[in-house]
Amino acid sequence: MYSYEIYVPRHLTAAIKSITEYFNIYYGGSTSYDGEGKWYNSDTKLTIEEPVTIIRAIVTHGIDFPMQYVTDILINEGESVVLYTKQKLEVHYVSK
């Protein structure tokens, strides 16, 4: 199984909705939660903080093409850098 996550600036509400819907179609579902993105700006010598929404899908296959589509959404919204992750998961099920 795989986990895909993409980090979206929280003010891009239309993009968050589009990406969530796209994840639901191609990955079968998603979970989103709010976080704080932080990075160091070497030009200003300051740590930049930005509220983000993290959208995650856990899937049985490692199909990457939906991630290219959703990163394009953010690039078209004016983002110069888009962070997403893909991780192979070891999954355990517990049932009654």
Has residue 55 got a pLDDT over 90? yes
Bridging pattern class, strands 46-59 and 2-9: antiparallel
For 85, list phi and psi in degrees, rounded to 5.
-125, 155
Q: Where are the beta strands (DSSP E) in the chain?
A: 2-9, 31-41, 46-59, 83-88
At 47 the pLDDT is 96
Q: Report the mean per-residue pLDDT for the chain.
A: 92
d(CA 51, CA 38): 9
CA 46 centroid distance within chain: 24
What topology does CATH give the domain 2-81? Alpha-Beta Plaits (3.30.70)
Q: Could you tell me the pLDDT band of residue 36, with boundaries at 50, 70 and 90? A: very high
For 28, list phi and psi in degrees, rounded to 5.
90, 0
